[in-house]
Amino acid sequence: MSLLTETRKLIVPPRTAPRPSPLTRAAVPPLAPGALPGLGHAGALLRDPLGFLGSLSRHGGVVRIRLGPRTVCVVTDARLVHTLLVALAHDCPRGAVQDTLKTAFGDGLLMSEGQAHRDRRRIIQPAFGPDRMGEYLAVMQQVTEERAGRWRPGQVLDVAKEMNHLALEIVTRTLFDARLSEDATVAFHRALPDLVKGQIVQSLYPNPALARLPLPVNRRFDDAVRVLNRVVDQAVNGRAAGAEEGRRTLPALLRAATDPASGCPLTEADVRSEAIAMFGAGTETVSTTLTWLLDELLRHPEVEARILAELDEHLPAGAVPTPEALARLTYTRSVTQEVVRLHAPNAFLMRTAQVPVELGPYRVPAGTELLYSLTALHRDPVRYPEPLSFRPERWQDGGGTGRPSFLPFGAGKHKCIGEAFAWAELTVAAAAILRRWRPVAVPGARAREVVWTTVQAHGLRVRLAPRGARSPRRSSTAASREGDTGSSPGDTVPSSPGEPPSGRCPFTGAGRATAPADPATTAAPSDLRSRADLLLAADRHADWAVRRGLLTPSELPRYRAYALHELIGFAYPRARGAELDLLVDMLGWFTILDDRFDGPPGRHPVQARAVVDPLVAVLDGARGGSPSESRLLLSWRELWERQTASMSPEWRARAAREWRACLATFPAEAEHRARGTVPALGLDLTDTMWLRRHGSCLYPFMNILERVHGTDAPAALHAEPALHRLRANTADAATLINDLYSLKREERQGGTAFNTVLTLERAHGCTRDRAVHAVRTRVARLQQESEEIRRDLLRSHPAGRWYLDGTRELVAGVQAWTSTSHRYRVRDREARR
């Protein structure tokens, strides 16, 4: 693609290049649709910041939005953002968001411009020179070891809070050689949210005078500023001057410097201003990134295993990290780069055009505020295929080096002075934590995005297990289940080995081949709605299930532990309101139906048909009203009406056809059990896969993508044979991932389990390792083939991108949920039955 080729070119032309076309010939940036009278786009920005900013690129490289009476230009093209930060840095200084902090903390490095910025950067630069890094690395490791040493086995850790405290302590000890009291650390942690919220709200005021009014947000912001000043004073004045000079701290460096403009020494106000900047910049972004790093490792245990193996090879336990050792940790660096890309801390930053400027083909008048979002840039599917997938391999072999579209620390003269410090801190802290502790996911407590000026990670809690002895490769199932269930690694599904087992693949008949490392190559999509929306949907669903008689109040606690709303949240990131409630209710209803067939109906065909036939009759238009109708049937009738309301006849016919195929698998499986033709006893792999594909309800839930989007996918897209293949691949991949994680639960059913891993073991004589490896390999191939199909279909049917992307999100959602759900956990007492 031409855009991919263009990213390899220099973004800023050499100074000898021809001058751009005159301003009078440039275009006015287009106005984004959807502006409301009086509010403009402020509601959309506040309601869904990342979704809104990410949607603007389809309208142009620079797009105008209205925030109340103000017009702001959003730069959506990475090349133009690079131009803004480098070629136009002098003409477009920092904007309103930074001005808010300048008022609070003074004109330090982060807030200054022009010659003042250059002078201050020259003074501070030695504190971040290569000769200082070795000393910093030893302190980083010591601080992390000390903090991690205070944790206890079984302790549930609030990761965001703990990483914030850790990052603050590292900054304090490395740059200031001081120690903060625990009270000061807690106060700093509590003050940051009010500082960030006040910063963004005050930057949106139409008149700066509003920041002086006694509004609650202003009072909290002022209180936060006072707290941060007290904390910084404790760090800056925490050591004697002689000790400062011996340790070459940042305050000592500043106090020994002279202001080039005045020829006078820097004032204490200057020292405090720079100290506050280092505390703010060096704490929140690093702590947020560490939180996301641990969250991604929980989802991708094979990545964690590779990091640990690399540490064993290049940074043995007990060794003091050095810059040379960190340079050899190439895979670990790829992982941290991918975390920073996918979870860029800066939701948006601003500049202001002081003179008329050109950005590509666009004319920007003087006085215009320019906004750009690193998060949106780093999730651009043109430059980062599968942007919501966690793929560290995209950075290997120099694949990410020098990308103008990767700007986590900015570019040009304002590029973060502590970039090398931050990368080193991420690596050293992660290594020290992972060597000592194995975090175990707490169900329902994964990280979620909370967006202000930064994209913060809230809600992640983990249970700590001592690392102890470990094998080079770990099980993805073990990573999500050990610690909560008391099971040992040997009781769980093994990961695919580094070398594929000998023999031929039961799926393809192919000989020995290198397989991808993990069953799901995509990470769960980021949560694009608030966490509160999902929790409210879960509460409404629980109330609905009890009112409908599907569950009793005593059954709710165990049922709610399944966290079905989390699956919907991952798989349908854009679902909201009534559509979100419908999805959670549908999934819950199907789960309750599926559990019913663990009992007698699952072994007796007559009973199975008695349950399913009335449900199918609803699809055929049968009217209700009989007093004998079961609660399951009554709730299904309601769900079918809610699904089909306002949908086209074509959609209703397709949905009915696929629900029939799904429901028909229950009597079919019961028939096989009754006859004894279960997997390994007369039912081959092909038939098992057909039953699993259609019995998973993935086809009906693919149809709901159109309900969530509010329209049918293009008819021409539905007519494509390739789409049928993509849908089958989607259902198969999600089903096989489910089979891997549900293995222990279904194994207790003995020969009656319709699980592909068990089928391969029993029907093909595979070992457990080889069966799991075959399933993982099949999933990876299905996903690779699916991506190729999506690319081909997208060229012919660009209007169907949302549907094609939705099939990918479904598989990613299943992977994210199944790896942590209580539904597939087998407790000791259950395993002994």
- Per residue in 403-429, pLDDT (tens digit) is 678 888 888 888 888 899 999 999 999
pLDDT at 746: 66
pLDDT, average across residues 273-300: 88
Predicted local distance difference test score (pLDDT) of residue 806: 92
Tell me, what's the pLDDT at 166? 95
Separation CA 130–CA 63 (nearest Å): 41
User: According to the model, what pLDDT value does residue 476 have?
Assistant: 34
Evaluate if residue 614 carries a pLDDT over 80: yes
Bigger pLDDT: 569 or 107? 569
Q: Looking at 51-55, 382-386, 547-551, 755-759, which range is the least confident one?
A: 755-759
Give residues with Cβ within 8 angstroms of 454, minimum separation 6.
196, 284, 285, 288, 345, 346, 347
Asked whether residue 146 carries a pLDDT value surpassing 50, the answer given is yes
> What is the predicted pLDDT for the residue at 192?
76
Place of tokens 């480098």: 86
pLDDT at position 255 over 70: yes
Say what percent of the chain tops pLDDT 70: 80
Please name every residue paired with 27 in a beta bridge, in sequence order, or none if there are none.
362
Distance, CA of 225 to CA of 90 (rounded, Å): 29
pLDDT band at 174 (very low <50, low <70, confident <90, very high): very high
pLDDT tens figures, 655-678: 999 999 999 988 988 887 787 765
State the average pLDDT over residues 111-127: 84
Q: What are 778-806's pLDDT values in tens digits?
A: 888 899 999 999 999 999 999 899 999 99
196/224 Cα distance (integer angstroms): 9
pLDDT band at 140 (very low <50, low <70, confident <90, very high): very high
Residue 522 reports pLDDT greater than 50: no
pLDDT tier at 233, thresholds 50, 70, 90: confident
Taken in order 366, 369, 375, 380, the sign of the CA dihedral is negative
What local confidence, expressed as pLDDT, does residue 472 receive? 36
Tell whether the model's pLDDT for residue 524 goes beyond 60.
Answer: no
- Which DSSP string corresponds to 671-740? HHHHHT--BTTTB-HHHHHHHHHHHTSHHHHHHHHHHHHTSPPPHHHHT-HHHHHHHHHHHHHHHHHHHH
150 touches 457 (CB < 8 A)? no
Task: Give the confidence band of 10 by pLDDT, cuts at 50, 70, 90.
Answer: very low
Average pLDDT rounded to a whole number, residues 823-829: 49
Q: What is the mean pLDDT of residues 607-629?
A: 85
Maximum alpha-carbon separation in the chain: 95
Q: What is the mean pLDDT of residues 436-441?
A: 91
Contact predicate 205/98, CB 8 Å: no
Mean pLDDT: which of 331-340, 479-488, 617-626, 810-819 is highest? 331-340
Output 263 or 506, whichever has higher pLDDT. 263
Question: Tokens representing 244?
Answer: 């400062």
Average pLDDT, the chain: 80
pLDDT at residue 4, as a whole number = 26
Asked whether the predicted pLDDT for residue 30 surpasses 90, the reply is yes
pLDDT of residue 678: 54
Model pLDDT, residue 509: 41
Whether 479 shows a pLDDT value over 50: the answer reads no
Q: What is the mean pLDDT of residues 499-527?
A: 38
Least confident of 81-95, 206-220, 675-689: 675-689
pLDDT at 18 over 70: no
Residues 6+ apart with CB under 8 A from 182: none
Average pLDDT score over residue span 69-80: 93
